[in-house]
């Protein structure tokens, strides 16, 4: 059943009685088979969050018709909602600089079928990883950062040209300009090599070493205009002690960074992340 085509409905709306009943009744009336359902009521914001997976073949209409029909229910409850189709793979464009551990991990998961996305291209401000990426049969675009404004316009143009859905910063060591953050709001994912909000900005492992922390970590988050302050999708940590050097911490951190980025991207691709102000609801 897991391989069957599915529609995934995600929504948030003001919390009130009858939301789950209305959505469930909508699918039941049309013979829809719900195979996964998750809910969360946020008492602080007064909003309700829902995610449901429905077997596409159980419905008598396609996704476009479903959107039209479900809009009636959505208006009744003032829903912000989206519908995704598992038959349409998300197109993920990857940005990378010189460090390859996150890129290598994502490409391995993609080649093995574990990460079910299309990767139309990889963009970098260095040439170092060209042969590695092209060996995978993926186009590689080198965009030097001499003129940063022009470089980021070129990156945006490549993303649009390749019909990208999501832009992943896989240790891309450049700060995206505010205009790009606004243009692709909710569509840009970054991996930061610290357990945010601790040690934002440059050289977080050095900051952690100087502070003498006992835990270091990594954070996958959406990119916003505020540096390293976007809604957090996923995090993890590893314990260290006084005997660990900065180099040790960097080495430990690489393992956390790649696994946290892979998990965070998977949650995003599977429509498991709903943003609420600067926080997220993640249905795992």
Q: Which sequence positions are flagged as catalytic?
A: 228
> Phi/psi at 267 (nearest 5 deg)?
-60, -40
H-helix or E-strand spanning residue 217:
strand 215-222
167/186 Cα distance (integer angstroms): 10
Q: Count of residues for the chain? A: 284
> Phi/psi at 248 (nearest 5 deg)?
-60, -45
Token pair in block for residue 35: 């195979």
32/154 Cα distance (integer angstroms): 44
Give Cβ neighbours of residue 16 (< 8 Å, ≥ 6 apart).
Answer: 48, 77
> Phi/psi at 142 (nearest 5 deg)?
-95, 120
**Signed CA dihedral, 266, 269, 272, 275: sign only:** positive
DSSP string spanning 173-193? Answer: -SPPPHHHHHHTTTSEEEEES
> Phi/psi at 190 (nearest 5 deg)?
-125, 150
Beta-bridge mates of residue 55: 6
CA-to-CA separations, 137 to 54, 133, 166, in angstroms, rounded: 34, 7, 20
């Amino acid at each position: 059943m897991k391989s069957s085509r599915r529609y995934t409905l995600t929504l948030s709306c003001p919390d009130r009685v009858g939301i789950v009943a209305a959505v469930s009744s909508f699918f039941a009336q049309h013979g829809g088979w719900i195979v996964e359902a998750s809910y969360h009521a946020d008492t602080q914001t007064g909003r309700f969050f829902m995610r449901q997976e429905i077997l596409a073949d159980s419905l008598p209409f396609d996704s476009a018709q479903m959107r039209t029909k479900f809009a009636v229910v959505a208006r009744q409850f003032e829903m912000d909602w989206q519908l995704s189709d598992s038959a349409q793979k998300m197109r993920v464009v990857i940005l990378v600089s010189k460090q390859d551990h996150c890129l290598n991990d994502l490409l391995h998961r993609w080649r093995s079928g574990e990460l079910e996305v299309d990767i139309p291209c990889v963009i970098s401000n260095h040439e170092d990883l060209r042969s590695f990426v092209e060996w995978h049969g993926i186009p590689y675009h080198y965009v030097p950062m001499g003129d940063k404004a022009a470089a980021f316009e070129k990156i945006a143009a490549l993303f649009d040209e390749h019909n990208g859905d999501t832009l992943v910063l896989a240790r891309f060591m450049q700060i995206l300009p505010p205009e790009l953050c606004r243009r692709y709001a909710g569509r840009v994912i970054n991996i930061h090599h610290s357990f945010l909000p601790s040690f934002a900005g440059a050289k977080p492992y050095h900051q952690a070493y100087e502070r003498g922390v006992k835990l270091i970590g990594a954070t996958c988050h959406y990119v916003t205009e505020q540096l390293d302050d976007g809604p957090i999708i996923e995090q993890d940590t590893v314990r260290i002690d006084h005997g660990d050097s900065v180099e040790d911490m960097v080495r430990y951190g690489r393992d956390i960074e790649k696994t946290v980025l892979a998990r965070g991207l998977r949650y995003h691709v599977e429509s498991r992340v709903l943003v609420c102000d600067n926080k997220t609801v993640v249905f795992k």
